[in-house]
Structure formats: structure tokens, C-alpha cells
Structure 1
Amino acid sequence: MRKPWRRSAIWTMLVLGLVLSGCNSGAPTNNEANPEGESGTVVNKTGYPIVQEPIKLKIFSRIAPVNGPFKDMPVFQDYEKMSNVQVEFIEAPTDGFQEKKNLLFASNELPDALFRSGLTPLETIRYGTAGQLIPLEKLIDDYAPNFKKLMDQYPEIRSAITTPEGHIYALPAVVTLDAARTDKKWINQAWLKKLNLQEPQTTDDLYNVLVAFRDRDPNGNGQKDEIPMTARAGQPGLGLPIVNMMSGSFGLDQQLGYNINLVDGKVEIWMGSERNKEMLMYLNKLYAEKLLDPALFSHKEAEYLAKQASGKTGFFFDQTNNPFLKIADQYTGIAPLEGPHGDRLQSQGAPIARDFGAFAITSVNKHPEATLRWIDYFYSEEGSTLLRFGREGEHYELKDGIPYYKEEYSTAETQPKITPYAGGGAPHLISDKVASYINPPQVQEAQEKLDPYMPKVRYAAPMFDEQTAQQVNILRTDIDKYYEEQSTKFIAGTLSFDKWDEFRSTLQKMRIDELEKLYQEAYDKMQK
């Protein structure tokens, strides 16, 4: 591990400070400069370049199938000239990325940093405790002013990324824009108008609207080819999207990254609750009456997106309107539906500290201060704009101060070649100023209908110590698999609700109470 305060480093700092005070060598006079540890590299705390003499970094990164090489992206070309930091990206495709990341740490053949790395809380604690990742909390104060400002403004960011021992080993993406943290509830307003129906306000209203969509030929082609309601199929271990989308109508929240309600400071895992039973019974009713897509649990992502674009779907969920842009006027966003007990909660949504573990610095890095300053730029609106949109005039234009892609760079083929944002997981700031691609007026209007029902704070998954994280992982592996399998069967009607008590009993045998206790302890620590 690097020891930044060795005596030799202090002498280096004193000598370089004296030299620099007598000779600026063209360095920006308004920059604060600080010699960097053993390397002796002068790091400017403010302004650019970050360093006077170029430095080189090797950064390991996931690259999505849609992306072009990072070295060809304008953000990294321009930022190298601006910062004097030369980055060699070690690009690993999404398929097999996890295995290659694991191998880096297992072999201890580490890069200087990891970008778009998707480190889990358990990985950051394990590799941080082992000394392979360095703690960043002290460096942030001096070398990450943009990120520090965000943590001060949104305290939940700090709690989401700080280990029980008080260390920060990795930085997330920061999403201050609500519209980028929720799936909207899109309904076919053209069908509502044709059938003389109002936007549904309650779960009973939705049922009646879906029946009309099924029976009254709203697309007018004389065929029963309408899909009244659909949702993503989801992935094993990540929950059922249809449950996440509808849970708020039954008073069920998703706090701490799990199926959790917070009631007067008490953690309640609701998977075996009567409210959950009511929700599953409601979804079973929709499924049995062919109001809910029969392919709900099997269709692929591409098929789901195609259903949005077909215009033959009545009600579905998505963050933005990109999949159905050509028929965007056919749809409008609606508010969460009020359930049978008066609940109307927008339960689904990512925390402000999204994409946990998006960036980390390893112990072999000789320039950690400069590296942290390098990434911090992307937590500003200026840096985020460069990362997401490229060069003004060439790749985007400003309209009322908001960047919009030029037409030739707004397609699904061209846009991912100029930005690592495409494909998800990049460490940067997503605010209302830089989200025109995912936040056009129609999407913002849909979000405004959700806003009154959003929780004041969306707590991210807690940072457990390694031993506790292993316990949580063991418990959740079995509980989550069982819950998803049984919920699917309840919704599809292959498991009778007469078996509910047996289902609850099995959750108890799987020690769901113990899991609840571990989340309670973690939440209590967050409040201190």
C-alpha cells in the first residue's frame, strides 16, 4: 500500500513548494498546487490542467456492445488535452466483464483505476480491506470539490457509499434528476379517447380500463391483437418488475435496495405480508383474465421494447419515451394508482447514488490525487455535458441552455459511439441540465405526475461489513429465489393462494427475520 506521508515525500513537498514559488513555468496563477506524495507530481487543486507535466493512467472499464472504442470518443480526446492526464483504457466487453474483473483482483495485476466498474458493496469492502482499493474519503475533501458538494447537498449519498468503518472505496453515478430514477407509468391515451375513458386513478379503475382495452377493439383493426398491460420480464435475483411497479398501490415500498418499508424507524420486510398477498391476488386476476401480457415472464428485452413501439399496448412502464418515439403522442404518463387501502406511493425508483461502485482507485496508482481530480470533473454539469454529448456545435447544440444532440448523433447507432454514457453505469452527474435525451418534455410531464407520491428520501442498499455482507448474501440468495419463483406462480395461477400460509412459513424457515434484523442494524447505523 502507498504511504503518502513518508518523510521523503514531505521533503519533496517542501522543496517543490520553494521551487514553484520562485518559478511558475507557465502554471496557471489562479490554481492551488499541491505536490502529490511519493511521485512528486504537482497537482492543481483547482483549474486546469490537473498536472503541469503529463501523466499516464491505465484504467480498466466495461464497454457496452453499442459503444465504439473509448479512445475515439470526443470526451476522452478533449479531456486529455485539458487535463494533461493520458488514459489508456483496458476495455472489457459486458459479456464476461465480471470474470475479467475478478481475475484482476485475484491475480493482483491491477490497473490504476476502474471506470464503469459496477463494483458491488461486498467487492469494495473486500478489496478495500485487502488493500487493493484505496480509501478516498480524505482525498475527496481536497481533490473532488464537485463530488463533495453533491454529498453535502444530498447526505444520503455519503451513507450509501461509506463502509461501517468510515471508508469510501468507490464512487457512484449521482442522479439528482427524479425522471432518471423512475419508470414512468405510460397509458395509451389514444385508446382512452377513442373509448371515451378517463385516466385511471385507482387499481379498480385500471382493471376496468384494461377490460375495455381487451374487449372494445381500441386500435380499430377488427382483431383481438391488443395487449392491455405488460412489463419487463426481469432477471433472476433482481426482483419481478411487475411487482416493483405495482407495489406502491398496496403500501409496499422498496427502501434500502430491497422489499422494505420503513415505519417509524423500523425495518419491515414485507414479502410475507397480507398487503403483498393482496397485490399478488390483484395481479393474478389481471393475468387470469388476459389483461396482463401472457409473455410477461418470458419475453426478451428487445421484444418488450418492440411492444412499446407497436402501438398495440395499453399500459406499460419505462424510464423514458425513446422506445416509442415514433408514436409518442399516443401515450401519456399517469400518477401512481390508489390501492384498496388508499395507498398511492411511487415505490419504484433508484436512489440518488445510483450505479454503485462505478469508479475506484487501486493501490498501485502513483497519482491518486490527480486521478480523483480527473474523475471529479464528470460530477460537474460541464464535465457531464462533455461526457454525455461530446463537443458543442459538432455533436450537440444548446437550446435555452440545455444540450441536445444534433440529428445525426441522436440515433441508437451513432450516439453510443461518442459517449460512454450509452450502455449505462458511467460515473458522472445526471441532472436536469444534461438529460435532454432521456428527459424530453413528455417524460418530464410524466415525472411531474409521480413527484407528489415520491418518498422524501430513497435509501440505497446499505454498506455492510464483509462478514455481515456474506451473511446477507447467503440469506438473500435462497429467499430471493424462492420469493420470485413463488410470486410468479401466484400471479400465473399455478400456485393457489390456499398455500399462502405455507409460503410464509417457508420464508420464516429461510430466516427472513434474521435478514430483517441485519437490515435494521444497518439502517440504525445510517442514522447516527
Structure 2
Amino acid sequence: MGISYKKDRTFIAAGLTVVMTAGVLAACTSTTNQGTPAGKNGTENKTEANSGAPLEFSMMATLWVADPPKIDGEPMKIIQKATNTKLNINWVPSGTYNEKVNATIATGQLPDVMTVTQGYDKTPGFINSVRSGMFWEVGPYLKDYKNLSKYNKNVLTNVSVDGKIYGLPRALPLPRAKTFMYRKDWLDKLGLQKPKSLDDIYTVLKAFRDKDPDGNGKNDTLPIVEGQGIDLFYVALAAYGGPDLWEVRNGQLVPDFMTDENMQALKFMKKLYDEKLMNQDFATLQGNQKNETFYKGTAAAYGGIVSESANLKANTAKIPGADIDFVTRVSSTKGDRIFSNVGYDAMFVFPKSSVKTEEKLKKILDYFDKLADPEVLQLMSWGLEGVHFKMENGKPVTTDSAKFEIEINPLRALRATWDTIFRSNVEGLSEIRQKMTQSYLDNEPYVVSNPAYSLISETYVTKGAELDKMIKDARIKFIMGAIDENGWNSAVDQWKKTGGDKVIAELNAQHAKLKP
């Protein structure tokens, strides 16, 4: 069933409100008396969505599910009609996406729009590509677009390179951080309460291991599945009062792995490993393998980003009685705290070799601006009426959350905005997304940010991959018992000698310049 544009606008005016939380692009738009989205200051955009020939351009985008959205499917038709575009999208699985980016840049055959994932955008290779002039600087253009002009300044600072903006951040709520997700149906079956502390998490994992939550009479339940990223480690680090990657202590920036709290978190994870409360092959498990382990119903808990809970829910829907819940904040000696997301999960960049003129760049920016208009926002928030949601008492209510996750959620990879629903409308979401959205709102006061994220160390630009691998490998070795605390300290000393000391000095020099 197709979506009714007239109904869209009535629905949005009645209740769906897009708000700007920290790190989120406000996407509210004014309307004329006829209901047509108005441009900045009440005037129409310079490029009308439905005037002239459709703009055709290519894009490389991340794919989170097994099958990409159909270009001739109703959702993609709505997006292209609303933006007056003809899209040629190369969907690449998220697990191999960065490898594909490297290969694509190496060939020189770049799409008009390339998605660069958060984290990759701070790698030496990408920064050097930016500095070489490979991509358009888009910062000066944002003020000309009614929606793109509303980006949160902190998020723009985070995506900047040398103080300039070379792409559109795919915005996210700042409290969208690492969390502990688990099978709620199994927790309830064992008569346990939702964990509120690391001690509670440990108790829950022991119960999952020892008390046969799936009822098959075998001691075969994996308490928690982890991968190379060791996501639960960051939940523990926050609980012990540690920093979000970097922290200012005694006036100086200090990396998380040089703090006492880091060692406490490592010892917690080692305890889980030693007692077989986590998978023994975590060091070799890739992201998609970690997901599949949980989807099979053999694991009781999962460490990851809170938004993954919706995917876990959708992909365990066929397991009788399966239910998913999560814990975003655990008690800490420093009070409730949660590590901050940097406010985006990817960035759209525009290669000059493909987008050869300023005119084409502006038209592509107009496409992203129009994705924040009400018609497309509703589609990405709720899907198609009669297929993914229905209207009850003037509010949308999800009717098929599993279908939404497969058919609609992947489309969010195309947008530069994030829709956050006001508390008064949150009940219209599926239960798991209701909890997710509420957590974004509730956790904002407890966000702990990384003060060094936007700073660039020249040493890190050239040696960052090597330095990061040293710490990552040392963490894995400590958890697995291959090195002890002395071995860890030796690894940190080696990190310093290899260039880490210079990284600290360079970041502190930049940080000092930014102080008021």
C-alpha cells in the first residue's frame, strides 16, 4: 500500500515531531498554507524537488541486512520522487565496507557520493585523501539549506579535518553508545531482575551459564557473545569511572588505556573469559559472525551499540518467545554515566573526480536536504501505512516491526538526519524502538564525551593504525591471559616509544590552543 502524502502532513502536524538533541540534526520544516514544505525563512528551496529532469547520481552505501532495498520498491520510489532524483546505489555489507572503500579509492573510480564510516574518517589514509584535495569542502554551503543549516555545531566539529567540513555527517543521538543486551525472556524465566551494576551483569551471566535458560536440559548456553571490538569492555570502563577514549586530568589529555579504571575494566573482562562467561573465540570473531551467533539463539547476551537491539529483536523473531532488552547505564562511583556517541555514524563525502562542478554538488546537497522534509522523514521513521504501521487515535503504531527492520531501516543509511520522537509520541514505535528512543532522551544528561575527538595528531595520522593495533592486541592478550599487568604496562611503554608520546604531546598542544 502506498503512502498518502496528504496523510503524511496531517500526521506530522498532529504529533510526529523531530527534535534536535545534542548531536542530532533538527529536521522540522515549516509548511505553507497548501502544505508544501517551505524553504529557509519561509521561501522555497532554490532547487524544487519535482521540477526539471531528475538528478541522476551514484552512491556507495552501507548495508546492515542481508538483502538491499529494491530500487523499484515503493519506499525507494517515494524517496526518488520526493527528491526528484534517480539513484544508482551500490549497497555494500557493513562487515566489509571499509575494505571496499579502500579498494574503491585505490582504483580512482569513485561514486558521486561515498559513505565513509565513523572512525574510518579519522584514519591516516582518509585524512591524507582529504588533505590531497580529493573531496569537496561542503561547510560553506550548509547555510544555504533549510535543514542542513541546522546541524549541531559539536557534531560538525567532530567531523572536521583541520577545522573544515568535508562531508555531511549521518547524524545520531549522542547517547547512542555501547550497551549490554540480553534475552529478556530468559532473564524472566530465571526470576532475575534487570541488571543495574557490573556485579548484577556478572550474576546474570553466571545464571545464563549454569541454569539452562533455554530449557533443553544441556549446559550449552553461551552467556554473552563478544567480538574483536570487546564492546562490553566499554560498558565496564564507564562503570568504573574511566574516560571515553581521552580525558582531561590535571589539565592534560590522557588516553583511557593509561588509567587505573582501564585496568579494572580489563580485569572484569578477564574474569568473564576465565570463567567461560563469554565466548573463547572472541578475538577472531568478526561482526557478522558475532551477530549470527546471537541470531541462532545459542547466546543469552550481546555487547554492542544500543541501536543493534532492534536488529537482534528482528532476527530472533522466529525463535519462540524470544524477547530482547538492554541496559545502557550501570551504576558508577562517579554517578550515572554513559559514553558519548560522537553524534554521527558515517559521513557522506563528494569526490571532485566524480562531482566535477559546484552546480552538481549543490544539487546533491539539495537531495540530502530534502531527505529531512516530512514526507521522507515519515517513511524512514515508520515505513508505509498499511504495511509497517497503522494510525490509531491520530498516532502511528508499528504493526510489523520485523518487516520494518528489513525493508525500511536500511534506508536510513541514505539520510543525513536522525528522527527523534517526542515522549508524547514514543508509544507509536515498536516496543524495542520505544525503549531505544526513550533511552536517547533519558541518557542525554549523563553523557561523557571525548574531548580529543576533533583534534588531529600528525604522528597519529601516519602511525595511528599501528598504535591502535598495539593497544587492541594488548587488551585481547590480557583478557586471554597471554600477558599479565606487567605485560600490559610493557605494551603501553612500547606504544609510547613507537610514537604514542608524540601523539599525547601533539593533542595536548592543540587542546591548549582551544582553551578560552
TM, length-normalised to structure 2 = 0.73
| Contact 2:143–2:149, Cα closer than 8 Å, also in 1 | yes
| Contact 2:173–2:341, Cα closer than 8 Å, also in 1 | no
| Contact 1:125–1:163, Cα closer than 8 Å, also in 2 | yes
Label 1:447 to 1:454 Cα distance change in 2 as closer, same or farther (>3 A): farther
State the match for 2:115 in structure 1. Answer: 116
Residue 423 of structure 2 corresponds to residue 432 of structure 1: no
State the match for 1:270 in structure 2. Answer: 256
| Contact 2:170–2:417, Cα closer than 8 Å, also in 1 | yes
Label 1:285 to 1:46 Cα distance change in 2 as closer, same or farther (>3 A): same
Instruction: Single out whichever of 122-131 and 376-385 deviates more from structure 2.
Output: 122-131
Residue 311 of structure 2 corresponds to residue 322 of structure 1: yes
Q: CA deviation at 1:407?
A: 7.4
Instruction: Single out whichever of 287-296 and 260-269 deviates more from structure 2.
Output: 260-269
| Contact 2:180–2:232, Cα closer than 8 Å, also in 1 | no
Give distance in 2, aligned partners of 1:81 and 1:359. Answer: 23
Label 1:343 to 1:405 Cα distance change in 2 as closer, same or farther (>3 A): same
Instruction: Single out whichever of 433-442 and 118-127 deviates more from structure 2.
Output: 433-442
Q: CA deviation at 1:171?
A: 0.3
State the match for 2:220 in structure 1. Answer: 225
State the match for 1:173 in structure 2. Answer: 170
Q: CA deviation at 1:117?
A: 4.7
| Contact 2:242–2:261, Cα closer than 8 Å, also in 1 | yes
Question: Per the alignment, in what secondary structure is the counterpart of residue 223 of structure 2?
Answer: strand
Q: CA RMSD in A?
A: 4.1
Q: 1:358 aligns with which of 318, 340, 348?
A: 348
State the match for 1:14 in structure 2. Answer: none
| Contact 1:30–1:47, Cα closer than 8 Å, also in 2 | no
Give distance in 2, aligned partners of 1:371 and 1:196. Answer: 54
Instruction: Single out whichever of 476-485 and 133-142 deviates more from structure 2.
Output: 133-142
Question: Per the alignment, in what secondary structure is the counterpart of residue 308 of structure 1?
Answer: helix
- Aligned pairs (5 A) from 1:250-265: 250-254=240-244, 259-263=245-249
Q: CA deviation at 1:522?
A: 4.8
Over residues 14-58 of structure 1, what are the superposed CA-to-partner deviations in whole Å (9 max), with x where a residue is unaligned? xxxxxxxxxxxxxx999789xxxxxxxxxx852872474326443
| Contact 1:185–1:316, Cα closer than 8 Å, also in 2 | yes
| Contact 1:160–1:460, Cα closer than 8 Å, also in 2 | no
Aligned length, in residue pairs: 458
Over residues 463-493 of structure 1, what are the superposed CA-to-partner deviations in whole Å (9 max), with x where a residue is unaligned? 556xx45x21333222211111121111111
Give distance in 2, aligned partners of 1:78 and 1:404. Answer: 19
Unaligned runs of 5+ in 2: 1-34
Over residues 122-156 of structure 1, what are the superposed CA-to-partner deviations in whole Å (9 max), with x where a residue is unaligned? 667655554443322232112x211212x2xx321
| Contact 2:239–2:330, Cα closer than 8 Å, also in 1 | yes
Give distance in 2, aligned partners of 1:135 and 1:67. Answer: 33
The one-letter code sitting in structure 1 at the alignment partner of 2:199 is D
Q: CA deviation at 1:102?
A: 0.8
Instruction: Single out whichever of 483-492 and 205-214 deviates more from structure 2.
Output: 205-214
Give distance in 2, aligned partners of 1:351 and 1:367. Answer: 29
State the match for 1:445 in structure 2. Answer: 435
Of the two, which has the highest radius of gyration?
A: 1
| Contact 1:229–1:293, Cα closer than 8 Å, also in 2 | yes
Give distance in 2, aligned partners of 1:445 and 1:29. Answer: 33
Q: CA deviation at 1:322?
A: 3.1
Label 1:267 to 1:368 Cα distance change in 2 as closer, same or farther (>3 A): same
Residue 404 of structure 2 corresponds to residue 410 of structure 1: yes
Residue 348 of structure 2 corresponds to residue 345 of structure 1: no
| Contact 2:237–2:243, Cα closer than 8 Å, also in 1 | yes
Instruction: Single out whichever of 357-366 and 402-411 deviates more from structure 2.
Output: 402-411
Label 1:525 to 1:398 Cα distance change in 2 as closer, same or farther (>3 A): farther
Instruction: Single out whichever of 368-377 and 395-404 deviates more from structure 2.
Output: 395-404
| Contact 2:50–2:82, Cα closer than 8 Å, also in 1 | no
State the match for 2:52 in structure 1. Answer: 53
- Aligned pairs (5 A) from 1:287-302: 287-302=273-288
State the match for 1:206 in structure 2. Answer: 201
Q: CA deviation at 1:161?
A: 2.8
| Contact 1:203–1:337, Cα closer than 8 Å, also in 2 | yes
| Contact 1:48–1:82, Cα closer than 8 Å, also in 2 | no
The one-letter code sitting in structure 1 at the alignment partner of 2:104 is K
| Contact 1:177–1:430, Cα closer than 8 Å, also in 2 | no
| Contact 1:352–1:458, Cα closer than 8 Å, also in 2 | no
Instruction: Single out whichever of 276-285 and 119-128 deviates more from structure 2.
Output: 119-128
Give distance in 1, aligned partners of 2:487 and 2:374. Answer: 53
Give distance in 2, aligned partners of 1:371 and 1:253. Answer: 38
| Contact 2:195–2:204, Cα closer than 8 Å, also in 1 | yes
The one-letter code sitting in structure 2 at the alignment partner of 1:358 is F
Question: Per the alignment, in what secondary structure is the counterpart of residue 283 of structure 2?
Answer: coil
State the match for 1:333 in structure 2. Answer: 326
- Aligned pairs (5 A) from 1:56-67: 56-62=55-61, 64=63, 66-67=66-67
Q: CA deviation at 1:292?
A: 2.3
Q: 1:503 aligns with which of 480, 483, 491?
A: 491
| Contact 2:61–2:115, Cα closer than 8 Å, also in 1 | yes
Label 1:192 to 1:391 Cα distance change in 2 as closer, same or farther (>3 A): closer
Give distance in 1, aligned partners of 2:205 and 2:80. Answer: 54
| Contact 1:66–1:422, Cα closer than 8 Å, also in 2 | no
Q: CA deviation at 1:291?
A: 2.0
Q: CA deviation at 1:429?
A: 1.7
**Taking every aligned residue pair, what percent have the same amino acid on both sides?**
17
Label 1:45 to 1:115 Cα distance change in 2 as closer, same or farther (>3 A): farther
Over residues 400-454 of structure 1, what are the superposed CA-to-partner deviations in whole Å (9 max), with x where a residue is unaligned? 5447475794364xx1xxx5x5287433322234999996323543675684586
Q: CA deviation at 1:260?
A: 1.6
Give distance in 2, aligned partners of 1:87 and 1:460. Answer: 40
Question: Per the alignment, in what secondary structure is the counterpart of residue 292 of structure 1?
Answer: coil
| Contact 1:227–1:293, Cα closer than 8 Å, also in 2 | yes
Give distance in 2, aligned partners of 1:125 and 1:69. Answer: 31
Q: CA deviation at 1:334?
A: 3.1
Unaligned runs of 5+ in 1: 1-27, 34-43
